[in-house]
Structure 1
Amino acid sequence: MWPWEHAIVGYLAYSFFCRLYYRESPDGLAAFAVVLASVGPDLIDKPLTWQFGVLESGYSIGHSLFFAVPFALVAGALARAAGRPRAGIAVGIGYLSHLPADVFYHYATGSPTRWELALWPVRRTPPEGQYGLVGHTTELLVAYGHRLLAGGASGYVRLQLAIAAGAFLVWLADGAPVLREILVGGRRLLARSHAGR
């Protein structure tokens, strides 16, 4: 899955959790935390594989249930200790949503379901070369762009676009967290600067 797809899935999962459990929309800190955590497994595994050659596959420790569950629990405990329990829950939901989303991606695109993506080191994916992070990412983006430009808007791409549009509407209904906090903070700064004159 692409990073923006993981961000969408993570945000939607956390937003629905907030609506069901807290009966309110996410705040800016939690929204930022869930989006960042939702791409966390790729931020760990892809550079360590493609750039540094430390791991043999872009689906290794960061994508493993054996790392993800303890990571989510520790992040939750640290956030609770810091007085930010919702941010900790957001990190947990974001990070943990990444794993089934990668498995679902293969199913949704008609590829064989790849449960091994989340089971490192018990099950491993085939080794990948050390391509360089920027070069490999560019290569993947160019191939994706060519498919779209060649009319390759498959059912999965249409589903992706529909989910993105839906997520944007949910984000607006939530009050545009993060943007909302930036605008409120900006207004406060302006008010203070005018009051100080």
Structure 2
Amino acid sequence: MTSKFLSLLLLFLVVGCGASKKKSSAHNQRKISVGPSEVTVGTPRELPNENSVTTVASPSISRKVINTAMTFSGVKYKFGGTTIKGMDCSGLLYVSFGEHDIQLPRASYLMATEGENIDLNKVSAGDLLFFGTSGRKKKINHVGLVVSVNGDDIQFIHATTSRGVIVSSLREGYWNYAFIKATRVL
């Protein structure tokens, strides 16, 4: 048991992403359960118009997972975190998918082994994007969830060390350069 705990702890120390802190007012918060406990999260920020979002499989479950992820907008980064007190990129997706009874591995490089690899031009809302942000670009250490696709503009939510849980565009030079692959798990 101790060795399993130490292995999990080591895994969390090896894998990480990012976030920054924004506070939401008490009247915009709701409670969701994550495993045996509840966390309070803010309401999701406004999503793009449904007509601009292309979704292939299970549009309703994709939208539910995206809405859950969006409730964490502004949460600060915490390595290994999975609550509104702080979370990392894989923690954001682990909790967002888990809230809808879809189990994903906890680490981004393990998430990358799940689902079906897809071409970037076939990405739709609910798909996962994987990145290499360390010195070794081909090593996956970051993940984001596609929230909308409008032409060649792919928007994704993720947790960054500098700004917390945010929505970014794959058009941004940094993310475009760090992109490794996309997968579909829904």
Q: Normalising TM by the smaller chain, what interval?
A: under 0.3
User: TM-score, normalised to structure 2's length?
Assistant: 0.27
Q: Answer 1 or 2: which has greater strand percent.
A: 2
User: TM-score, normalised to structure 1's length?
Assistant: 0.26
